Chain A
Amino acid sequence: MTEPGGGSSPDKDTAGEAELTRDQNRTDAPGVPAPGAPAGRQAAEPAGGTGPEEPTGSVTQRFGRTVLDSILSANTVTVTVLAIFIALVVGAILIVVSNPTLTSEYGYFFGAPGTVLADSWSVVAAAYANLFKGAVFDPATVSGAINGTNSWSQAFAPLSETLTYTAPLVFTGLAVALAFRGGLFNIGAQGQAIIGAIGGAVIGFDLPLPYGLHVIVALLGAAAGGALWAFIAGALKARSGAHEVIVTIMLNNVATLLLGWLIVQKGVHDPTRTDAISKNVDKTAKLPTIPGVDHNIVRVHLGIVLGVLAALGIAWLLQRSTIGFRLRAVGANPAAARTAGMSVGGAYVLVMVLSGALAGLGGGMQVLGTTASSLTAQVTANIGFDGITVALLGRGKPWGVVASALLFGALHAGGNRMQSFSHVAIDLVFLVQAVIVIFIAAPALVKAIFRLRAARSGGTPTTLAKGW
């Protein structure tokens, strides 16, 4: 992912890729008209930007310089790492400021600077230690598991929590990222996730199916729900040019209200309860957890595996398939793509449907996984909007999305423990996430703060989508 000196778009070897596409066009894409092949090369030009100059020199020299370059110049990795670092520093300051004991100590800072700083350090260190213990592992439970005082499942519980929070974010992150690459800003992942959750849950409790088949059908239902919801926005964009940002925002509201209405209707509402909650999803439709382990403690389920597979699929789709090439071409320059004979409207619809299906799966995770088993008004939490930040942090790339979803999942899981054990409000975690994204969105800030030199070419992209 380093891409030293890489351009703003992932097309490192434009020519090679166009070559590949031309071959594919000739053999397996009969829908594309014959002129598509040479025009595909044209369309790839704007996507690729200015190709990097071939560096000269021996391989080791080149490698060494590349590594040094990538550390000292403002490329995506350094900017991302430094943005996380700045966010943690800002978080530390806020931990100190929001701690009443420490703020009163700062009243006599110059009386005893050592004590005050040491106290501040210990508070911040304890908070971040709990963040780590809640997200990765707690040495106490690990040694406890070795000594036999507690079960191994407790030792793995933090990691499992992280992965449980990560799974839906991978899907919604991929959804937003894929739309970015197709040149669309899908703000509607939240609404698509809600419809996906509805689709998954309704199949989960109203369709009696055997083990195995049920969960697959429920997942398909979730994907179909999200795809349908996104199709509305995609079709409106393709047909009438209605802006997808506006349409998806409005569809978010429609989805939220639809969910609120649906859960109190007959057939969906749990008749044994009087509050606004749906029936429970059948056990047969639940995503399997690790067998033989108490799933109240180790909550991780198959969703995270599916998430990684989805990332793999999207990576393949974008980099290796004709469809992916067409989507990226349309995303990079719709006019050029149209000139090349590609159907821009068709690509918009397709990218939205795929994006919606992913977001729908993310919503499905919430009801088919271990976080909830019935629909409530807030069952999808905030995964759709978090997906936008995950996609931004992941730079719109499938594996970047997986990594940033993992970071967000870890922050959330650790934040729960930090709040519980160190009394630092969970909001701090969201603030840290927000600060990370602010700095990612404004790489010039990071460059200025750390006096990084600009990357050789391309540098850090600021605009991911050409939505406006």
Chain B
Amino acid sequence: MSSATTTVAPQAAAPPGALRAAWQRPAARKLLLLGAVTAVLAPFAAARWGSGAWPSELAVSLDGPLGRANDWIIDNRDSHWLFLHFFGHISNAIITAVRTVYVVLLALGWAGVTAGASLLAWRLAGVRAGATALASFAVCGLLGMWVPTMRTLALMIVAVAASVAVGALLGLAAGLSDRMFRGLRPVLDTMQALPAFAYLLPVVLVFGIGVAPAVLATVVYAAPPMARLTALGLRGTDQGVLEAVDSLGATGRQRLLTARLPLARRELLLGVNQTIMMALSMAVIASVIGADGLGDRVYQSLSTVDVGAALTAGIPIVLLAIVLDRTTAGRGSWAGVPRGGTGGHDQPRRRTRTATTWAAAIAATVALGRLAGTTWPETWTVAIATPVNEAKDWMVQHLYSGIPGIGGTADWAAQYTGWVLDPLRDGLQALPWWGALALVAALAWLIGTWRTALTAVLSLAAIGVLGRWEPAMDTLSQVLAAVAVTLVLGFAVAVPAARSPRVDRLLRPVLDVFQTMPQFVYLIPVVALFGIGRAPAAAAAIVYALPAVVRIVSQGLRQADPAALESARSLGATGGQQLRQVQFPLARAELLLAVNQAVVLVLSVVIIGALVGGGALGYEVVFGLAQGDLATGLMAGTAIACLGLMLDRVTQPTKEANR
């Protein structure tokens, strides 16, 4: 990235005249100030602690205390009152809930669940969603994934219900109280920037491995969007309407129930949709801590590089994501359109009729389910694993290397690792620690306030203090390289999409599907294409982040003021000039947002890339989980959170601009 040049320049001595000129510009002023501070502190720091990686004198080893805490928890999990009377009940409630849902799903049988889900999707989002649901569940059964699908579904239902409840309550509090909102917002913002993996360790520490911690991690991960959107929805209510409601003498409760909540309906439904998608994403990743179900099958297959089996479990995940998204997003748009002709007097009658229909439908579904049996009949399954693996072997033989002219995927992977990742990693690891801090401070300060800079620097320093400097730099190198590729590709796709409505029309459904898919699924095809290592992790990250970048950039470019564009055209600007001189500058906020999103999304996948040989921080989390060595895992998890926070702050333009 070009960041290196930005900070070196101001540190070079400039002639006084130029200095004074530079002083006039705020960005230059910040850099000069920072340069001066660095110039004073750096030699001292370098002399005292050296100029390599983070000095060990400044690191605090938490292995001992954390290990002891972990041992204490394990020893006391079945005896201490805190676990018996508090955590135990939470865990018990979750397990009971998941079990109940799971037993109900099994009791409904494959036919019942399929029919019920299709009916529900049809009712909520129309015929097409219903048909999608029908086909999807049938495919899950056909692939022989019925039981894992039901397990994932059971976990999802409980986790989503809890996330929506928790999120809505928090959102309600933040929507109604300013102080709560001010306190909650930075927390929620930060939580959304952190990779999913960072949430796993703390719950495992308390609850061990199993379904209860998996549900809890999912709730913690999926509740923030609900809370955020609820709060924003409530706060965004038209003040004029609220004043009118007040002027009619409404009590606080009437005001909330009859005006604020109904008016925030669109945001609430969007919140539910986002929460469901995030929950699915996490429920799959949580297989690492015992979530079972589909994610577990993928995890199982990835560790043996069995692409066929991974795909068999991956397809149902994708289908589940599409069904859930179509059903709930459809619901959102349906609610947004005001429906004419809801005459008052015939409502009760219609309601009874609907209720009767529903009762009949449910009864039929249950009967169908009982008749058809609990799990999908084994003879109706299609084993795709073997043909897929054969195809993959063919690919390995023919596409991996030695294709004249373009090499092969394995060659690309090797070259990407050898020529991009390795030098970048070595460079970052060779960077003096104080230099890295100064660099981060400069970037964050340029783009935000001194407060963002401070947060970013402290986060980076925390990584050093935890003794995770080297793996963090490794992860960082993977992130930076993947972000660079993502941005290049993203712009290459977004610019034509912004200019041609036809390209945009073609692209939109593809982006829609890609954006709904859980991160975990992307790991499957890249293993088939690139094998194991850092390159496939990067490829997965790029594919995952690309849709968001394309969407944000093309939207930003398209929103450029038509009047400004017209005037540029009237002055005889070429297409390229329009793009460079009008559209890019006008879309600056969106472009920065695209960078921010790219960084956040890439980081989240690079971390889970540890499951396909990505190494670094993510690997330490997996290692900690696999070995029951939670001290290592927790420190790596904390370092991941710090890295996420740092990257988010460094790329986050002034908050007011885009929130």
A binds B: no
**Residues of B that sit less than 8 Å from A by CB:** none
